[in-house]
Structure 1
């Protein structure tokens, strides 16, 4: 049974060790970027803390995100941010005094989701469900329905970015279709509009480098299958680096 869901983006900049935030206040041009990162981090952590407060101690925590290999991750799977310049390793297993070991296999989306969970104070086990960016809306709806059918009390942490083509300095360069796409996604997330999320075009999302499309459609499928009315609070829809970062919390109405 679904209890709640939180939607967050997964840029590496959420982790202070990757922005220089741990080395003291930045100066010059880096100050504005660091402030944007800190604001986004705080918004995401608040959303995750609210999700965990809804979950209680006995709920299953499932992180949903995109990656190259679809499927359910092994319970002892780990992710690493070493490729991004930070000596940070996180595992799905319950946090203990022994750091997680093993060959990192979790994609960035799940790894950042785990970082948010641990930073928010959650030390219990988590599950991960990975889909590719090419998953069809029907496949996403089916996966969401299966998540909603879990007999255990369940909360979803849904990880995904909007378009990475919002302006000239964006990773994918400017595409005029990016803002309307992100606006439609933000409105759907704000209204808990499962039909609007399900209608997002996967080909357009691929062109716009919007990695959140499939995870958002999984959320839509889960809530649609749940059958109850849901409400949402959209907490952020900014694009400080030319990438749409959407943060929302969904709960049954």
Structure 2
């Protein structure tokens, strides 16, 4: 029962985050990481969670036939977009080994667009006995680095994420997180972070946060 309650908290935090995003912008751009990257999936893209055991169909904004092999970050984007009522949400998928500076440059380019930015990335997947991989004592430190950076809008901490360490500890979305420093640097101003959730249900860490540029 605790696990079910915990995942309900995670879903609630995600719902709150994307509702806040839609309040700021009806058009989104999402960034995630997948082996098929680098690629941009336009708003006409659609997919289904059938490969995960349930035929829930989602779209990034159009009416195309669902792609049964649509990568998970795009599927989640489509699901959150529909739940929050955003009009469209094209997805930039980066390769797992994308250098930090390349991610930063993408962030700088996205900052020029009048859209909400949705970043999808997991935490570690080897923190305890419930994890899908053997526990690694380094996981807690890496999760704390990500958690603190998201809560405090600490772009230097995100920029400093070590690609090799992240790969070893299951932070497959490292390159997506490193888009954020470019967005903040190019946008300027003062930013406020709000950490909505940070925990490790089923042995995989998730952190949900909202970053807002202050007037």
Match of 2:168 in 1: 207
Structure 2: gaps spanning 5 or more residues = none
Q: CA deviation at 1:130?
A: 0.6
**Structure 1-normalised TM-score?**
0.80
Structure 2 CA distance for aligned equivalents of residues 172 and 224 of structure 1? 36
Contact 2:45 2:66 in 1 (8 A): yes
Match of 1:147 in 2: 110
**Does residue 32 of structure 2 align to residue 65 of structure 1?**
yes
Deviations 1:121-176 (A, max 9, x none): 33x122111112211111111111111123xx111011110001111220122111
- What is the alpha-carbon root mean square deviation over aligned residues? 1.5
1:244 to 183, 205, 214: 205
Structure 2 CA distance for aligned equivalents of residues 105 and 192 of structure 1? 34
**Does residue 8 of structure 2 align to residue 38 of structure 1?**
yes
Deviations 1:42-71 (A, max 9, x none): 11101110111122x4xx311111112212
Structure 2 CA distance for aligned equivalents of residues 34 and 183 of structure 1? 24
Structure 2 CA distance for aligned equivalents of residues 102 and 88 of structure 1? 10
Q: CA deviation at 1:102?
A: 4.1
Matches within 5 A, 1:75-94: 75-94=43-62
Deviations 1:34-93 (A, max 9, x none): 2111111011101110111122x4xx3111111122121133222221111010121112
**Does residue 20 of structure 2 align to residue 50 of structure 1?**
yes
Q: Which runs of 4+ in 1 moved over 2 A?
A: 102-106
Matches within 5 A, 1:127-206: 127-150=90-113, 153-206=114-167
More contact order relative to length (CA 8 Å, sep ≥ 6): 1
Structure 2 CA distance for aligned equivalents of residues 170 and 186 of structure 1? 19
Q: CA deviation at 1:115?
A: 0.7
Q: CA deviation at 1:249?
A: 0.2
